[in-house]
Homo-oligomer: A and B are copies of this chain.
């Protein structure tokens, strides 16, 4: 192993400055250095970064990830905490999906109704200008 930071970045899909940033905020530990002061990483860090990247992609906040990581390091602890973090997160994800789907509907209606001509006939501008009644008698 003994990977330089660039190689770790390549293998985990986390960018070099981001890895250093994660070290700075204590999300990953400071690794050993070469004589010339360069970081060298091992298996552990690949796993840990993959964990972090995946969790970030799933929308977990850094503080949650920190908790999860801490928990994963004392396997004798109860997983009740991890479970409830995940449940809270699931609720949040459901809320987001709901909101995005409503938004999706509105957006595609906007697009459908666009007159494809001049701005003055375009519902996109119109709809955005008027929240209360998003697609009704307004052309006049």
Interface residues of A (CB under 8 A from B): 47, 50-51, 53-55, 57-59, 68, 71-72, 74-80, 82-83, 85-87, 89-90, 93-94, 96-97, 99-101, 103-104, 106-108, 110-111, 114-122, 124-125, 128-131
Contact = CB atoms under 8 A, between A and B. Distances in A.
Nearest to A72: B125
Nearest to A108: B90
B118 A82 contact: no
Contact of A125 (B79, B87, B116, B119): B79
Contacts of A93: 100, 103-104, 107
A96 B107 CA distance: 14
Given A76-B119, A104-B90, A107-B86, A125 B68 contact: yes
Contact of A79 (B78, B114, B128): B114
A118 B75 contact: yes
Contacts of A85: 124
Nearest to A79: B122
Nearest to A125: B72
